[in-house]
Structures are given as structure tokens and as C-alpha cells.
Structure 1
Amino acid sequence: MSHFESCWNPASPQALQRRAALLERIAALRALEDRAAAASARSQAVFDKRGQLLPRQRVALLLDPGRPWLPLATLAGYGQDTPELARSVPGGGMIAGIGWVSGVRCMVVASDSGIEAGAIQPMGLEKILRAQEIALQNKLPFLHLVESAGANLMRYRVEGFVHGGSLFRNLARLSAAGVPVITVQHGSGTAGGAYMPGLSDVVIMVRGRSRAFLAGPPLLQAATGEIATEEELGGAEMHTQVSGLGEHLAEDDREALALAREVVAQLGWAPPEAPPAFAEPRYPADDLLGLMSDDLRQPVDMRELMLRLVDGSELLQFKPLYGAATVCAQARIEGRPVGLISNNGPIDVAGANKATHFIQWMCQLGHPLIYLQNTTGFMVGKDSEQGGMIKHGSKMIQAVSNATVPQITLQCGASFGAGNYGMCGRGYAPRFLFSWPNARTAVMGGEQAARTMQIVAEAALARKGLAPDPVRAQAQFEQTVALFESQADAFHTSGLLLDDGVIDPRDSRAVLAQCLALCADAEARRLRPLSFGVARM
């Protein structure tokens, strides 16, 4: 391995200023996550009266104590439920993450029924669909803790109803692929929500609390005139004794979760193989807070970041003298070999060709690829265009699109223009994609967009023989900058589920290690697919 030695001084004024700015963003992230937890916890008295656990308490009891938990999309829906950001409650009304249950890594999704009775929010639907996709791709048992009022009819939109069918289709696909689907019905599941247990392999119900029916008493009376109680229509005792929808009847939430743990334990899934021995990085993770500037125009040597992520801070650089603005290197993370790709400037012709070669080399070796995004995009200009930037950039995009190894993306700084595509952005379906709080994603920077629109507008006026109004032009310029900057913000893009979550940079190595372990486990795990999912009997 070549020992690229760090030249970074974490005690410099520049590093300390950057560190302070990033810590401020991390504090804002934690405050938003706490806002969701606090909103749910306001229902504590109601849950206590019913003898129930709050959703986060349920998740905590389900998981193995002391084992890693990787939360997903904690900012889902942020800014989408209300334009007043100070009142927006992130999370999409869902809790989702990857954790250990009875020694098996599982995808866990729980209705946050402390908020609006667990009614499904638009971005909450997108969040659970993404969780199902991850579970299928990584062969993770899907554990669903359900207590939901279903769709919020006060916010009804027909596209949400139609798109919501994907949730049930995915449950059927998981089961047919041989991925266990286990549901704990903590509370109500009405109308379409009744198909959550209906499309599960194993269902656990709670006496006196679980409800599952296609039509509740009000709808039944309105539709047919028939009068029936909730227990008669869809209670836990009825479903475990009469309809057969439920396999297990628990007395309370705690027993239901204990039963879920037993069901997972009885899967007989062998524990994953331990990775080989590895050395920790020679540089502390805390340095990562001072590396990236909040002014993304300031250059950063992304090799400094790599040194703080990989085993022993050892990198084998690939073509270091060719296309030097594109950084490619081989390394290991917790003993697992990886290929790393990052940017020390725009992606030029040489850099695109270098990355294409490297991606194909990693595919031949079977090593996962990790993209550390900090790119202003592909190089533009007369020389670049005449040099074939379009065709060479297209080769890189071809390689990213068709790579045969897992690809994981970490948005560390700028993610602008087609650089977002060439560096395996969300549209290129990386296995996982996480963002740092300072990350920015946009077709271009706000000032570049505003200047482009200003030039176009002035040219249009000139063709008409008119002169621009300086005051109006400046106002439009500032409005455009503000629009682009607000939409580029990591909290905004994460609210739209354009990543799998915003993380503390200091957690990057641990998050990447978990993702790599998931990919390795999925590769080794042999499933027993069926022609159809397990049918309810």
C-alpha cells in the first residue's frame, strides 16, 4: 500500500471554523430528530392508559441490546407537511432502520402511532417503500410493527391511494423471494392497512388492541347498514381463533415483541461471517468535521477524508498522475476490500476515463464501490467539448449504471450537475446513499443558475431593443439564488427521500462498515424463493 501522508492541520483556524459550522448543522439535525420523538412522546399518557408502549419503546425492545442500529430517512417529509419549517415534524410518521433481532440483521419499520394515530403520510409511504426495497436487495427479514389509522382522509389524494398499492405488492415480492415478512399488529389496520398482516408470513396480534378489517363499523354501517363491533369485525381473538389471519395472540405489546424475537430466532439463519482482522485509521474521525468547508467553492483534498475512513489509513491510488482531479483508490474498511472514487475538482476527460477503467476493474475483482461525492460536475468549455467530454463522460455513466458490484454513495460536499449522475447519485440506484449535513445537491450552484437566467433575460430584452431594469434584475437574481440554495440543502433533499439519511461525518466509517457487511451477508445468504408469497391459511 502507498502511504499518502496527511498534510491537514485540524487545529488551524480554517479547520476550527469549518468544524464549528458543521457542529452547528449536526446540532440542527439532532434537534429535528428530537422534534419527531417529542411529538410522538406527547401521546405517552394515552398509551399508558391503554397499557401500550410508545413506538420507539417497541423498537427498542425488539432489538438486541448493545448491537448497532442504522436509522433510515429520519428527516423524511421535512418541509413537506407544512411550509413553516419551524413546525414541520420530520420522519414521515414512520420509524425505520436496520438492526439486530435475535442475532439476525433485520429491516424494522414501525408506525409512529404517537403522531396522528399513525396515519400514513405521503413521505411516510415513500419511506416504507424504500425500506422494502433495501430489505429485498439485501435479503433482510422485514419486521413491521403496525398501528395505523390508515390514509388520512382529510388529506386524501387519489395518487397516494394508487401509489400506495406498491406497499402491498412489495410485501408479496419479499415473501416470494424467500425474505420473511413478520408483522406485529399493535393496533388498528383498516381497509388497505388490513393487507399488511394479510400479506405477511407470520402475524402476531395483541388481545384487546389489534384490529384488522376491510371496513370498520362506520363504513360498514354506511355501506350495508350492518352493525357490528370492532372486535367482531377484526379483533385479535377473532383473527387468531376464527379467521386464521393471526398466528400468535399476545397479552400486551411486550409479549408480542418477545414472540417476534422468537419467530426470528426460529428462522435458523446462520450468523454472518466475521470480517478479517483490521487496523483502525491512523487519523481520528473527529478531523472530518474540519475538512469540508461550508463554502463549497473552497478546494478539499478528498484523499484526506479517505485516510480517516479506511483501515490503517492505507490507500493504493489508481493512476494518481493521470486525471488527478478524479481520485480513485483501493483500500479496506473493517477488513472488507473496497474501491473509492472521489473528486478534487471537476470531472475532466482524463478523470472520466480513469473512473470508467477503475469501476470495471473493481467489478472484475468483485469489490464494492464507494463514491465520496464532492463534485461541481463535468468540465465545461471549448477545449473540453472538443476533447469529447460528452462521450467520455457517457462512458463513466455507462460504467456506473451497469456496475456488477454493490455501490454506496456518501454525499460529503457539492453534488452538482451531471457530476451527481457520474458519481452514482440517487437516480443511479446505489445500494445505499447517505449525506453529510453540509452537503448540497443541485443542477448547478445558485449563483450560476441566477447568472445564467440573467444573461438569457438580458439577451431577450436586447433582441427587443430594451434595456434591463437593474433593480428588478437584482431582485430576480437574489430570488433565484435563494430558491436554488434552499432546495440544495441536505435537510431539504433528505426530506424528499433523495438519500437514506443525513449522518454525522464522524459516523461515516461505522455506517459504511455496516452497509458493506449487509452487502456481504446478502451475497452469502441463500434464499428459498417461491412462485408466490406465503399465502394466509
Structure 2
Amino acid sequence: MVSKGGGENSILRHTQRNKKLFVRERLKMLLDDESFLELSPLAGLNMPYGDVPAAGCLTGIGKICGVWCVFMANDATVKGGTIYPIGVKKQLRAQEIAMQNRLLSVYLVDSGGAFLPLQSELFPDKSDGGRVFYNEAIMSAMKIPQVAVVCGSCVAGGAYVPTMAEETVIVDKIGTLFLAGPPLVKAATGENVSPEDLGGARLHSKVSGCSDHFAPSEKEAYECVRNIISTLNYEPLPEEVMEYDDPLYSSDELLGLAPQGYEYTLPVKLIVSRLMDGSRFQEFKADYGTTLVTGFGHVEGHLVGIVASNGELSHDASLKGSHFVQLCSQRSIPILFFQNTAPHAAEPTSILQAEAHTNRLKAQASMMAAVACAAVPKITIVIGGCYGSESYVMCGRSFSPNFLFLWPNARVALVDSRHFSTIPKADDSDCKGDELELSHLKEKLEEESSAFYSSARLWDDGVILPQNTRKVVAQCLEIIKQQKYQVISPCQYPVIRM
């Protein structure tokens, strides 16, 4: 459903009447001929204001001239490219990934501007639309190049995206760029003006200087972008032929291992053994704090530290996790978290139990601090439950992992509704009311904790199939690795366009 954008009729109108390429065709022409990592494809589904397939824009990471780049491409077949609150959130996440991993950014702009009925949700706040432009300036000051293509309508706030990029290409007869379009000019002044005269490619290439490159067609525009990237002095990763072994066990077996509940204990090493090269895993503190599994391994030749939930995160397990995370940070080894948090333990019923709970809390706090301050890339995969404070300790979204993905069976919530205590039955009407209220709360929690509810709201970077985990993790590690090869200039100011 998501891959069809706004639907067949919208695509026909976009490609035949408006003579434009569908967004996925644009990416084929722009990116190298190899697979790319699409981010948050399910964002925007079943939102309170309706379905917005892929949040009205495609974001992801692919190679252009051998260099990993973040792309943000509006899909004008979805609501005419109008920007919804979830679309803003998706673009901001893509920019955050670009900054965190120092990846150059390409914007394909084809947008009708903000969806005005929801302006209060996408304009005024700190993390709303204006933050996109703020980030563009910050990224430029960080020496992260940004290139934009005006390949359609570019109206109102959307007009700042290409004008703040370092180099901009505009497509003749298709690309238009203005703050207010012809209908608003007509309403305000009574004057009839064509989109081309008001903000077409020739005007911005010859008169205003808002565009740096004029492209007679979309094909030539994407060739121009490839030429620009080849002159950015942004070195691609050196061609290394890394030899590695496949896991001893098939990745397809992960489909049968994906945890569905807590009725049984699943040894997390069964999952690790289907992801590591040769199923080799050098475990750290194997016999201490066994409810957390830590150790080193390789994923398609990339060395990683593994931190994997193996039950309730005990005091000893938290201390072990804190120690191991600091080791990885000291050795500059990326950390891969597998999150499957157990339900909360029962409330303490004695002084001794209360003391044990307090000690566990202190140990978890120390691991939380170690995870937050570890200056290495972090990738989190939620393979089961993502509940409560343990989701923070295991590098959940609020701890800014470089990438965070969910398996389709994952659950994301403060508490697990299946472990609510039930209210004893009684004839009292208040008890019946409480029971009904609890039942409604459990239903609401059940709905809101699904992986698809989470992904639709961009609490993660996408739902991935368990059997694709090794491939996705390897791709992320390859992307993260590129920043090691960039030369960073000492001066810290953005490129101010003329």
C-alpha cells in the first residue's frame, strides 16, 4: 500500500498530466544501482487526520557516486505533496540521522507547502516545520553538504529548503519556487501571472539566483546532482573486500524465534547465533548477571559489541551491562542492542525485597548513564517487548541510537497490558465500573503498543522482517563507518547563499 503512494489515479495524474516522474522512479535515476535503506516507510498510516502513505515523503540512505547520502523526497501523489505534521517529523528524523552520522543530504522538493488545517501542529513549536530550516543551517556549519532539486511545486515554507541548501538544481517547465503561488497573487492584487513567470526555472537561474543549475529535464537534473556530489571532496568508503562467514544457522529460523509473550523464556543467544558471522560470539561475563547477554562478534565483517536482553534486568546484569558498554566506548566499537524487556517484577513485600529493588534501581541508573555517554554508534533492534525503564537502559528512542528498528511482533509501551492485575469480582457497582474501565484501558494499551502503531508515528526507523535483520544491521554499520574517512574543516559557519 505504501509503495503505491497516493494511489493509481494520483500517479497517472502526476506522471501523464503533470509530466513528472513518480518519486521512486526519481530515486532510481539518482542513486547508484544497489539497494538502499528506506527509513520509516509505515509513517503516517492510520493517523487521527487520516492515512498519509509514507508520511507524504520518502526518506532513506543510499549511495550516490559511491558516497552514502540521506535523501528526502516529497511524494506529490500523496495530498499533492502537502506537508502534514507526521511528514515534518519524518524529515526531522532524516536530518537527525544525517547529523549523527555525518551523511551528506539530498532534497527532492515537490511540495504544495504546509497543510493549513493542521498548521497549529506543524508550524509553531520547537520541533515543528521551522526546525527543518534550522537544521539545514546547522548541518552546513558542520560541513555536511546539502544539495536540492526543485522537481515540482515548491511553495511557502517549502521554498526555504532549496534556498538554504548549498547547491540547488531546478527543472525547466516542472520546477517552480515561490512563497505565494499564482492563486494568492490573483486574490491579493487581481493580477494574472503564470507559475513559470512567477517562479520558474529560467527566472531563478537567470534573475533571482535562487537556483545554481538549470536542468532541461528531470533526467539531466539527477545527472547534475551526481556531478555535484563527485566534486564535493567527500571521499567514498575505500573499496575493501571483506571476507566473512555466513551464520551456521539460517536467518529464516528467526521467524520461529521472534518472542510473542513471556509464557516461556527464550535464550537470546539463539537469536544472536543466527546473526553473527560463523555464529561466533565471544561472550563477556558469561556466568554473571545472566539475564543480560554481552559480548563481541562480527556482522558481515564489522566488529560489534552485543547487549541483549535475556530476561528481567537484574542488579548484576545492569552492572555487567554498564561495564561492557564502557569497554565498547573505550575501544570505539559500535554497540548493537537487542531489546526484549521482561514485565516488571512484583512489588516488594518485605524490607529485604525493597532493598533489593533499590539496589537494582541504582545499578540500572549506572548502566543508563554509561549508555547515554558512550561515544560510539548504537543500533537498537526491538525483538520483543520494549517496556518501561528497561527500554531506556537498553538504548530506546530517547537515548538517541543511530538507528532503531522493530520486528513486526514488537510491543512498545510503558507497561505490558497482559500483566495488569485484575480487580476481584463483586456485586458492588463501583467495582464493576472499575473493572470496565480497566478493560478499556487494557484494550487501548494493546492497540497503542503494536509495532505498526509505533512505526506510523515515527517512534522508530521502521519495521523490519526478522530474517532481514543481519542485512539491515550490516548496512547501518557500513553507513556509520563512512564518517571516519571525512576531512572536517576547523571553521564553523554555514554557507550563506547570495
TM range (shorter): over 0.9
Q: Which residue of 1 aligns with 2:466?
A: 505
SS in 1 for 2:293: strand
SS at match of 2:54: coil
Paired amino acid for 1:303: K
Aligned to 1:23: none
Question: Who is 1:145 aligned against?
Answer: 108
What secondary structure, in the 3-state scheme, does the structure 1 residue paired with 2:123 have?
helix
- Could you tell me which amino acid in structure 1 is paired with residue 485 of structure 2? A
1:442 and 2:413 aligned: yes
Which residue of the other structure, out of 38, 50, 54, is the alignment partner of 2:22? Answer: 54
Using the TM superposition, give the Cα deviation of residue 297 of structure 1 relative to its aligned residue in structure 2, in angstroms: 3.8
Distance in structure 1 (CA, Å) of the matches to 2:468 and 2:246: 14
Paired residues for 1:354-393 under 5 Å = 354-376=320-342, 379=345, 381-382=347-348, 383=352, 385-387=354-356, 388-393=359-364
Quick check: 1:177–1:529 contact (8 Å CA) kept in 2?
Answer: no
Q: How does 1:175-214 map to 2 (within 5 A)?
A: 175-214=140-179
8 Å contact kept, 2:150–2:171: yes
Give 1:288 deviation, angstroms: 0.6
Separation of aligned partners in 2, 1:57 and 1:33: 15
- Deviations along 1:249-298, one digit per CA (max 9) or x if unpaired, are 11221221121122112223322133642211111110110002323443
Distance in 2 separating the partners of 1:69 and 1:347: 35
| Distance in 2 separating the partners of 1:536 and 1:393 | 48
Between 1:109-118 and 1:466-475, the stretch displaced more is 466-475
Deviations 1:359-401 (A, max 9, x none): 1111111111111001125655435531212211111111111
Equivalent residues of 1:371, 1:407 under 8 A apart: yes
Match of 1:266?
231
Change (3 A) 1:532 1:224: farther
Question: Aligned Cα RMSD in Å?
Answer: 2.2
- Asked if structure 2 preserves the Cα contact closer than 8 Å seen for 1:191 and 1:213, the reply is yes
| Shift in Å, 1:82 | 4.3
Report the number of matched residues: 490
Aligned 1:243-282 pairs, distance under 5 A: 243-273=208-238, 274=240, 276-282=242-248
Q: Within 2, Cα distance between the matches of 1:43 and 1:337?
A: 44
Aligned 8 A contact 1:120 1:149 in 2: yes
Q: Structure 2 CA distance, aligned partners of 1:331 and 1:439? A: 24
Q: For 1:272 and 1:528, locate their aligned partners in 2 and report how far apart those are by CA, in whole Å.
A: 19
Query: Is the CA contact 1:147–1:188 (under 8 Å) kept in the aligned structure 2?
Result: yes
Q: Is the 8 A contact 1:102 1:265 kept in 2?
A: yes
Q: Distance in 1 between matches of 2:459 and 2:140?
A: 27
Q: CA–CA distance in 2 between the matches of 1:331 and 1:99? A: 26
The residue that corresponds to 2:446 in the other structure is 485
1:404 aligns with 2:375: yes
* Structure of higher RCO (CA pairs closer than 8 Å, 6+ residues apart): 1
Please say if residues 44 and 54 of structure 1, whose CA atoms lie closer than 8 Å, have aligned partners that are also in contact. no
Partner of 1:326: 292
8 Å contact kept, 1:40–1:112: no
- For structure 1, which runs of at least 5 residues remain unmatched after alignment? 1-31
Name the CA distance, whole Å, in 2 between partners of 1:38 and 1:51: 16
Are 1:70 and 2:37 an aligned pair?
yes
One-letter amino acid of the structure 1 residue matched with residue 134 of structure 2: R
Q: 1:438 to 1:57 in 2, by over 3 A?
A: same
Range with greater deviation from structure 2 (375-384 or 246-255): 375-384
Instruction: Write the distance in 2 (CA, Å) between the matches of 1:415 and 1:343.
Output: 10
For 2:307 and 2:343, the matched residues in 1 are separated by 14
TM-score (norm 2): 0.93
1:221 Cα deviation (Å)?
4.2
Deviations 1:319-368 (A, max 9, x none): 11111111111111122211111112100111111111111111111111
In structure 2, the residue matched to 1:428 is 399
Residue of structure 2 in register with 1:80 after alignment = 47
Aligned residue among 357, 380, 385 for 1:414: 385
Query: Quick check: 44-53 or 133-142, which moved more?
Result: 44-53
| TM-score, normalization by structure 1 | 0.86
Is the Cα–Cα contact under 8 Å of residues 292 and 300 in structure 1 kept in the other structure?
Answer: no
Q: Structure 1's 89 and 228: CA in aligned 2 closer, same or farther, altered over 3 A?
A: closer
Structure 2: stretches of 5+ with no match in the other structure: none
How far apart are the structure 1 equivalents of 2:39 and 2:204?
32
The aligned counterpart of 1:339 is: 305
CA distance in 1, matches of 2:316, 2:90: 38
Say yes or no: does 1:98 pair with 2:98: no
Paired with 2:210 and 2:20, the residues of 1 have a C-alpha distance of 22
